[in-house]
Structure 1
Amino acid sequence: VGDPECMRTADLGVQRFLRVTKQYLPHVARLCLISTFLEDGIRMWFQWSEQRDYIDGTWNCGYFLASIFVILNLFGQLSKWLWGCSGACRTIAYSILWDLKFLMRNLALGGGLLLLLAESRSEGKSMFAGVPTMRESSPKQYMQLGGRVLLVLMFMTLLHFDMNFFSILQNIVGTALIILVAIGFKTKLAALTLVIWLFGINIYFNAFWTVPAYKPMHDFLKYDFFQTMSVIGGLLLVVALGPGGVSMDEKKKEW
């Protein structure tokens, strides 16, 4: 996987980065992760009538049921325990369930939430101090594995099939990185590289602040921007907390 000396230098760079940022990186990761839900809840509050009219026009359910949906979705976006359900309902209600790009990005967002749940899950405590309990910790490990695998779906939507050199190089490098994150090999280095790459792409392609607020594209880019920031938050959790027990990095310690 590249020149060993370069990899050692890169690993040392990641370790130094983590030493400097270990106090606040998990907090930044969580803030990024929930940013799309906060933005969506705020937008629903300020665009109440537009949201209600859209739901009514799409599903022909009447103003009352449309208003109930918007209310539930609003509180769902601002409630930690309802984020997953709210995201699923929003995907169906706004008729983007069968849009492959949106579906994959919502699944990637679900991966970030899974990592957040894994982080908040209390470590299994043994009755005997110092004795590991693999059975109790396994659910958390598999949640981390599922979160990693779902997160990489975001990058599947960024692959381009143009035959120019830049697109080919981007596809090769991006594919290699997402495979490394998924299998948990050099995970922190690969995840941090993806964070930098995805953040640059997000700033370049989803610059909603350059589009007038009255244009529909403004809301579309804003939604995409914060959704991407949430995936970045999930990757930052991987950088801060590691890949978990079900990973090649963890298995290497046993070899």
Structure 2
Amino acid sequence: MSQKSELMDKAEDIADKFLRYGKNVLPHVARLCLISTFLEDGIRMWFQWNEQRDYISATWGCGWFLGMIFVLINLFGQLTGCAMVLSRKKVNVACGILFGIIALQTIAYSILWDLKFLLRNIALAGGVILLLAESKAEGRSLFAGLPSLGENTHKTYMQLSGRVLLVFMFLTLLRFEFSLLQVIQNLIGTTLVVLIAIGYKTKLASLILVVWLTILNFYFNAWWNVPSYKPMRDFLKYDFFQTLSVVGGLLLVVALGPGGYSMDEHKKKW
């Protein structure tokens, strides 16, 4: 066994010990982080009611009434969806609502034409897919003795698509600067997201990426340091909570595992 392989095995052992101690808390933290951007945005709709309504009305020329309907849908849709996820009630319905909010905002705010924000919305959708996969796993655990081949296949596909979509967040963090530090960061980050996408050393790679994204998030998106009257505060807050939601999705990958369509799973059959 090579020295590199031994180092990876030791790192995995440390990660496994951490997961064993935190297995009861980790899913709750993951869900809270994942819905944080919806929760923050729903609350913001209340405090910025007039601004959001007027923005939609002016951008789309739809009038104040439809602008108000847009704000209401976002306000109640996001807060209701978050409450259902946290209470573990009708999670599949909650995920459907949150998917609808992502699609609505992608169109309403013209995110389709902004690659950075589009990739982040795609990554956020990946997190919601993993949330749905987790609810499927919980549902089956209540009927452990019954056949569930179809549901298991669906969950496996959801885990695969969820973790692949999550890595789109990293693409928005790539910076093509000709400095040694930036090149090293890009290489390490790219290696981690490739490992997550193919499902190899998935839990370890996800944990490392969680730590890295969290550090970058608190460093680059420190919105609390910006005065409330500056527009930059809202932009940084939006980035902060979207990144936090992707961190929650990665924590769900850690809690759930990579699923059947992964190298980690196939290794068990070798």
Q: TM-score, normalised by structure 2?
A: 0.90
RMSD of Structure 2 on Structure 1 (CA)? 1.7
Look up the match of 2:66: 65
Contact 1:187/1:249 (8 A) holds in 2: yes
Unaligned 5+ runs, structure 1: none
SS in 1 for 2:236: helix
C-alpha distance in 2, partners of 1:14/1:151?
20
Instruction: Pick the structure with more helix per residue.
Output: 2
Structure 1 position 79, deviation (Å):
2.8
1:216-235 per-residue CA deviation (whole Å, 9 max, x = no partner) reads 00001001100000000000
Contact 1:148/1:182 (8 A) holds in 2: yes
Runs of 4+ with deviation above 2 angstroms: 122-126, 131-136
Contact 2:175/2:182 (8 A) holds in 1: yes
Matched residue count: 253
Q: TM-score, normalised by structure 1?
A: 0.95
- 1:51 and 2:52 equivalent? yes
C-alpha distance in 2, partners of 1:44/1:181?
34
Unaligned 5+ runs, structure 2: 82-93
- 1:123 and 2:140 equivalent? yes
Q: Which amino acid aligns with 1:158?
A: L
How does 1:176-255 map onto structure 2 within 5 Å?
Answer: 176-255=191-270
* Distance verdict in 2 for CA 1:2–1:205, change over 3 Å: farther
Structure 1 position 19, deviation (Å):
1.1
Look up the match of 1:146: 161
How does 1:26-37 map onto structure 2 within 5 Å?
Answer: 26-37=27-38
Structure 1 position 2, deviation (Å):
7.4
Structure 1 position 38, deviation (Å):
0.4
Contact 2:140/2:148 (8 A) holds in 1: no
Structure 1 position 23, deviation (Å):
1.1
SS in 1 for 2:177: coil
Look up the match of 2:42: 41
C-alpha distance in 2, partners of 1:2/1:176?
19
SS in 2 for 1:97: helix
C-alpha distance in 1, partners of 2:149/2:266?
14
- 1:83 and 2:98 equivalent? yes
Q: Which amino acid aligns with 1:221?
A: L
Look up the match of 2:90: none
C-alpha distance in 2, partners of 1:191/1:181?
7
Contact 1:104/1:154 (8 A) holds in 2: yes
